[in-house]
Structures are given as structure tokens and as C-alpha cells.
């Protein structure tokens, strides 16, 4: 986006009549009609610059204020002056937060300077498009370093296991250890089998795709089956995800049984 702005800026200096042909010579507005950022990837906690390009297509110097918003929250503002037939880059700094955002810029009280006097300038559109984006939460470990979600889950599971070990006696620990060992053996064994099912499903999809379009019957069903095995394979391959899914399913089954008995009584 910055390269695009620089292209427009240089073009406005070399050939201002280009913008006249674009039917914006007598207007003040944003060009392009959206904001952009100093970083391609926005991360929670990082400070970035939010940019807008202001085009003055009038025959006079224009003084105005540019305000930047996240939905209805003001991020910052700048007082700017733009020469006739010129494009100006305006920016504010923004410390990125997690969640949904809608970033935009707005022209406030523009005035044209004629013979040294300011006069109110009416414009057709004074805002950019809303740039809607969603910033993920950054997960950090005890040392304050960024980690992946799966690594954070592994850490939580390990800590929970340590706390449980502090409470349980040796006999119970041994029984739990044996049970977990059996479950882990089952997970690894079934994981290998599911990998084979996934591979067979992929081969089936490729086989159908290699046929003529008129003969590609059952492709949708084969692809659904392939993605199903991919999801199951991912669950069995990832130890933390496997145990979380197992706990959730166990809880759902127990709750269903409890409700069934409660309604009978």
C-alpha cells in the first residue's frame, strides 16, 4: 500500500493534470479511499503507524484536521496543510489491541486559503472506508516470551499435572500412570491407523480429479471424507488437543446420562 501511495505522490508532483482527468480536480478527499499501516501483520501490544493519503484537488491551499478512529474511539488527530493539486501523507501512532477493529480516517472542518483568508470548504465525502480487522491475542509464557497456542496449552496441562501429583498418594499416582500409559498407547496406535485412512482418502480424491469432468462423480463425498480424516488425524497427533477433546466428550456423555436419569425420576 505504501508503494502505491508513493506512486500516486510522485505522479501528483510530475503530472497534476492526471488527477484532473480522473474527475477529482475540484475536490478534497482521501486517495486511496482507505487507511494502511506501517506493518503488514498487526500484533497485540505492538505500536504501528496508521496512514491516510489526503488529496487536494482544489485551486487553493487547504488547512484541515484529520482524525483517525477505531469504530467511535479517537486514535489521534493531525492538523495539516495541503498545497493545490498535491497529495499528502498523514499518520498517527496506534498501540494495537486484541479483538475486532474498524479503522478509518475523517476530514474535519476543511478550509481553503484564498488571498490569505480562510473560507469554509464543503466536500462530498469526508471519510475513508472502514478497514475491518481482527487481531488475535498474543500468548506469552512465564518469561514474557511469545508462544504458540499449542505450546501454551502444553504448559497448562503440565502445571495441572504437577499440582495433581502433589495432592495424590503414591498408590493412586501409580494407577493413574498405568491408565494414562494405556490411553497414550491407544492414541499412538490409532493415530497411525487414521494416518493410513487419511492417505487413502487423499489418493481417492486425486484419482477422481484425474478423470474427465463429466466422470468426476462422488468428488464432493470423497473430499468430505478426506477432510474428516485430516481433522481426526490432527486430534490424535496433537497430544494436548487429544486429551482436551477426550475430556470435553466425556463431560458431554456424563451430562447426557445424568439428564436422562434425572428426567426418569
Average pLDDT estimate for 65-90: 95
pLDDT at residue 19 greater than cutoff 50: no
Q: Which three cell numbers stand for residue 117?
A: 483568508
pLDDT tier for residue 27 given thresholds of 50, 70 and 90: confident
Classify the C-alpha dihedral 221-223-224-228 as positive or negative.
Answer: positive
Instruction: Count Cβ neighbours within 10 Å for each residue of 25-48 and write b for 16 or more, e otherwise.
Output: bebbbbbeebbbbeeeebeeeeeb
Contact indicator for 24, 57 with CB cutoff of 8 Å: yes
Distance of CA 57 to the CA centre of its chain: 35
The distance in angstroms from the start CA to the end CA of the chain is 67
Contact indicator for 38, 52 with CB cutoff of 8 Å: no
Contact indicator for 94, 50 with CB cutoff of 8 Å: yes
Higher confidence at residue 70 or residue 23? 70
Average pLDDT estimate for 242-248: 83
Q: Which three cell numbers stand for residue 108?
A: 474535519
pLDDT tier for residue 111 given thresholds of 50, 70 and 90: very high
pLDDT tier for residue 77 given thresholds of 50, 70 and 90: very high
Average pLDDT estimate for 198-210: 83
pLDDT at residue 258 greater than cutoff 70: yes
What residues contact residue 228 under an 8 Å CB cut-off, 6+ apart? Answer: 201
Q: What's the residue count for the chain?
A: 265
Average pLDDT estimate for 170-188: 66
37: enclosing H helix or E strand: strand 36-37
Q: How many other CB atoms are found less than 10 A from the CB of residue 128?
A: 24
- Residue-level pLDDT at 119: 93
Q: Which three cell numbers stand for residue 86?
A: 498535491
CATH superfamily label, 2-135: Immunoglobulins (2.60.40.10)
Q: Which three cell numbers stand for residue 42?
A: 498487526
Average pLDDT estimate for 147-167: 54
| Average pLDDT for the chain | 79
For residues 150 and 234, give the distance between their C-alpha atoms in angstroms, rounded to a whole number.
Answer: 12
Average pLDDT estimate for 4-15: 50
What residues contact residue 22 under an 8 Å CB cut-off, 6+ apart? Answer: none
Per-domain residue ranges for the chain? 2-135, 169-264
Average pLDDT estimate for 195-214: 81
- Residue-level pLDDT at 95: 95
pLDDT at residue 158 greater than cutoff 80: no
| Reported pTM | 0.52
For residues 199 and 205, give the distance between their C-alpha atoms in angstroms, rounded to a whole number.
Answer: 10
Q: Which three cell numbers stand for residue 103?
A: 479503522
pLDDT tier for residue 104 given thresholds of 50, 70 and 90: very high
Q: Range with the lowest mean pLDDT among 29-43, 76-90, 114-128, 144-158?
A: 144-158
Q: Range with the lowest mean pLDDT among 88-102, 136-150, 191-205?
A: 136-150
pLDDT over 90 percentage in the chain: 34
Contact indicator for 87, 31 with CB cutoff of 8 Å: yes
Q: Which residues pair with 132 in a beta bridge?
A: 102
What residues contact residue 210 under an 8 Å CB cut-off, 6+ apart? Answer: none
Amino acid at each position: 500500500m505504501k508503494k502505491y501511495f508513493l506512486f500516486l505522490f510522485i505522479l501528483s508532483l510530475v503530472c497534476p493534470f492526471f488527477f484532473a482527468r480522473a474527475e477529482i480536480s475540484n475536490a478534497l478527499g482521501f486517495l486511496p479511499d482507505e487507511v494502511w499501516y506501517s506493518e503488514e501483520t498487526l500484533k497485540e501490544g505492538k505500536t504501528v503507524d496508521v496512514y491516510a493519503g489526503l488529496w487536494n484537488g482544489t485551486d487553493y491551499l487547504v488547512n484541515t484536521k484529520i482524525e483517525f478512529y477505531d469504530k467511535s474511539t479517537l486514535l489521534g488527530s493531525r492538523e495539516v496543510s495541503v498545497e493545490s493539486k498535491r497529495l499528502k501523507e498523514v499518520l498517527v501512532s496506534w498501540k494495537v489491541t486484541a479483538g475486532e477493529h474498524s479503522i478509518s480516517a475523517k476530514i474535519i472542518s476543511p478550509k481553503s486559503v484564498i488571498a490569505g483568508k480562510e473560507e469554509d470548504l464543503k466536500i462530498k465525502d469526508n471519510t475513508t472506508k472502514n478497514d475491518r480487522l481482527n487481531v488475535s491475542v498474543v500468548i506469552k509464557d512465564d518469561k514474557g516470551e511469545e508462544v504458540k497456542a499449542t505450546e501454551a496449552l502444553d504448559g497448562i496441562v503440565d502445571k495441572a499435572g504437577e499440582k495433581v501429583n502433589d495432592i495424590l498418594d503414591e498408590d493412586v499416582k501409580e494407577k493413574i500412570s498405568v491408565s494414562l500409559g494405556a490411553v497414550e498407547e491407544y492414541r499412538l496406535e490409532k493415530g497411525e491407523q487414521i494416518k493410513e485412512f487419511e492417505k487413502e482418502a487423499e489418493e481417492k480424491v486425486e484419482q477422481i480429479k484425474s478423470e474427465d469432468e463429466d466422470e468426476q462423480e462422488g468428488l464432493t463425498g470423497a473430499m468430505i471424507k478426506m477432510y474428516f480424516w485430516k481433522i481426526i488425524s490432527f486430534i490424535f497427533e496433537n497430544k494436548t488437543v487429544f486429551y482436551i477433546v477426550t475430556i470435553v466428550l466425556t463431560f458431554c456423555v456424563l451430562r447426557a446420562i445424568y439428564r436422562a436419569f434425572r428426567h426418569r425420576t
